[in-house]
Amino acid sequence: MILIACEYSGVIRDAFRALGHDAMSCDILPTETEGPHYEGDILDILYSREWNLVIAHPPCTYLSASGLHWNNRIPGRAEKTEQALEFVKLLWEAPAKRMCLENPVGCINTRLPFMPEPQYVQPYEFGDNASKKTGLWLRELPKLVPTERILGRKVTYKGKEVERWDNQTDSGQNRLGPSEARAKERSKTYPGLAKAIAEQWSEVL
């Protein structure tokens, strides 16, 4: 049984199910696509059995490097980082033969020394026209092998020629403007990456 933790989109769950695997997702939000989904706290089911594979997406708001500078400026924010790190620990210690924990660059390795070094991947390495540097902390899983590199458009930024992808402005910022749905939309896994995860890790399941 495969568990996709903290996933409401169903993208990775459905990629595994398309290959014939018994996979379910779990999130406090309802699933956006029809399929096996537990709507509620992941801790309700995470320790209920031994999973063949868990792929977990803990919220990155208080873990990512881009926001940590606020911890000394906003009262209570540092405590939320501690809570987020404790959640990562609970996910990683789940009874799962194989585990992948996904998050952007942040404080996981500096604060949790037992975590392995992550593999960093980009959607544009897997056929998606997008940039989103993503860390994968792996247990008993092989590193992903890029499948198709999408070339970004060439722009000049600060005097240098750089690549930018469809989800980026020329300065490298995400095109999504401020909104209540921004964080939710940015958290989704790109389909090419999800397909590579399902196909490549199916070989060891």
Residue 162 has which token pair?
């750089």
- How far is the C-alpha of 187 from the C-alpha of 12, rounded, in Å? 12
Beta bridge partners of 137: 101
pTM: 0.92
Assess contact for 168 and 174: CB atoms under 8 A. yes
pLDDT given at position 183: 60
pLDDT in tens, 122-180: 999 999 999 999 999 999 999 999 999 999 999 999 999 999 999 999 998 888 655 55
**DSSP string over 103-114:** E-SBSHHHH-TT
- How far is the C-alpha of 52 from the C-alpha of 81, rounded, in Å? 29
The structural domains of the chain, with segments of one domain joined by +, span 2-202
Cβ atoms within 10 Å of 150's Cβ, excluding its own: 18
Q: What separation, in Å, do the N-terminal and C-terminal C-alpha atoms of the chain show?
A: 10
Assess contact for 41 and 22: CB atoms under 8 A. no
**Total count of residues recorded for the chain:** 205
pLDDT in tens, 43-63: 999 999 999 999 999 999 889
pLDDT in tens, 84-93: 999 999 999 9
Q: What is the dihedral of CA 134, 139, 142, 144, to 10 degrees?
A: -10
Burial of 145 (0-12, 13-18, 19+ CB in 10 A): exposed
pLDDT given at position 152: 96
Taking CB atoms within 8 Å and a gap of at least 24, the contacts of 119-125 are 119/143, 119/144, 121/146, 121/193, 123/165, 123/190, 123/192, 123/193, 124/149, 124/150, 124/151, 124/152, 124/165, 125/149
Question: Can you identify the CATH homologous superfamily of domain 2-202?
Answer: Vaccinia Virus protein VP39 (3.40.50.150)
- How far is the C-alpha of 137 from the C-alpha of 80, rounded, in Å? 21
- How far is the C-alpha of 138 from the C-alpha of 135, rounded, in Å? 10
pLDDT given at position 178: 59
The residues, ordered by sequence, that sit 6+ positions from 102 with a Cβ below 8 Å of its Cβ are 55, 56, 57, 134, 135, 136, 137, 189
